[in-house]
Structure 1
């Protein structure tokens, strides 16, 4: 079995709020396209049926990230892993905003999903840096942020699209992730988990 020892530097209540917000922003990005499928399809000249594949591609990417990238956090510094993933996230969101063709936009959705799985890196970090008595509550707070984002993401993207256009939703999301990259780099503590067999 793989075990990740907690460090003596526990996250504070304020930091838990930051991680909750980070989880919300990261997971929200994979749901922004859902209410925008019709307008995205019109932009690229594709049918609503073909535009609907975007949702599947994003979820597929998220699943691939959880399956192949997130487990790396058991053997490497989660701060470094999250930083790499968020940097890729910024690039993917910027590419989505600038995509000149539907096939490019569709391919980018896969990478958005893959890098969005950084959410599942943050949650174990909070768990491993929380006192045992508070671990469940703090993980629950981060998960609550994630669930609220899933509920609100579609509304936010619909409003932004109506006001300034759907591409701007991805521009704003890229800036939000850039802000998270800075904040998490400052907040997360670098440590290398130790893998032991029992």
Structure 2
């Protein structure tokens, strides 16, 4: 950003690119679930444990790794973590059984938390009146990575097999490691206590910050619906439309249109009341789920719903993070840890419940579940929101 000497535009976009590249590791599996199920000759519900354990692993990585950014040199932590990511991806690529792939998926999720170092880093380096914009840029990269990963893995899986995707991902991560080794600044920490004291402080921030608790709850429920959708979409496309993993992945590209709203909403959250932005995001998500409910046999409806769902969720997510990262820069990693752990617990819940609703009621059951989650966000937001002027 030209306005901020502490956060050059080149570094901001390098972090945004890295956020997308690394978080993509958590989502390559979703369009490949059908291929994996056939490869190991297991059911759809059994193979859904792969994205479930990836999300659980991510939540554990957030809980136990990200707080370390407030205690140690963040750059060194990131460089070490990259090596662990590469090893996890290679284990997935050679997995001889579903059990090994599930374990590897947990490790991929556990190690692929680097984007959550980048978000508080961007907030810390940015000028206060540019914080939402900086978070929005990094999150746009992250979200494009999430959605673009589905297109990439769907294409690679269909033409080269699902294992090839993990080899490609390992190579890409290794190349990016070289870039950040030279470009990423070393940020010293302020926390001088023990690891136990560091982890104990998480509870202090959670119980003392009502905005953090509400933002975490909103994010978790939003991501629950999002995960339910992406876990079951590939089954709908295969069962109803006879489409393979390539088409399932293409829906990720469509979602990028909605994800780009993250950058816009980041700027908007610096200028207008954040509670208003949150309400707009909630109603967009409700509209998306209503479209999905009536789109069991309509590709056009699914396309519209994907764009709306991503737009709504990412707008909600960006605004949540802008709220919780305003101030307390010395604890930014821990604040973000609390939010993101609860966020991904919501994602795991959505994966489990989405798979179960699919087994029992198919697509309409999944859509009804998404409507329920989003209505709960609205109810709790209206009941517990606090006045926010910035």
Question: Does the alignment reach a TM-score above 0.5?
Answer: yes
TM-superposed CA distance for 1:28, in Å, is: 1.1
TM-superposed CA distance for 1:180, in Å, is: 1.7
**For 2:5 and 2:174, how far apart are their aligned partners in 1?**
25
Q: How many residues align?
A: 191
Q: Does 1:184 align with 2:147?
A: no
Judge which range, 150-159 or 84-93, deviates more: 150-159
Query: Residue 12 of structure 2: which of 11, 16, 25 is its match?
Result: 16
Could you tell me which residue of structure 2 aligns to residue 101 of structure 1? 97
TM-superposed CA distance for 1:162, in Å, is: 1.3
**For 1:126 and 1:64, how far apart are their aligned partners in 2?**
23
Higher helix share: 2
In the superposition, the TM-score normalised over structure 2's length comes to 0.47
CA RMSD of aligned residues (A): 2.0
Give structure 1 stretches of 5+ with no counterpart: 1-7
TM-superposed CA distance for 1:130, in Å, is: 2.8
**For 1:120 and 1:144, how far apart are their aligned partners in 2?**
13
Query: Residue 193 of structure 1: which of 179, 189, 192 is its match?
Result: 189
**For 1:40 and 1:76, how far apart are their aligned partners in 2?**
39
**For 1:196 and 1:177, how far apart are their aligned partners in 2?**
32
Could you tell me which residue of structure 2 aligns to residue 32 of structure 1? 28
Q: Does 1:145 align with 2:149?
A: no
Could you tell me which residue of structure 2 aligns to residue 67 of structure 1? 63
Could you tell me which residue of structure 2 aligns to residue 41 of structure 1? 37
Could you tell me which residue of structure 2 aligns to residue 57 of structure 1? 53
**For 1:194 and 1:111, how far apart are their aligned partners in 2?**
29
TM-superposed CA distance for 1:72, in Å, is: 0.7
In the superposition, the TM-score normalised over structure 1's length comes to 0.89
Kept in 1: contact 2:16–2:140 (CA 8 A): yes
**For 2:186 and 2:148, how far apart are their aligned partners in 1?**
32
3-state SS of 2:106 partner: helix
TM-superposed CA distance for 1:9, in Å, is: 7.4
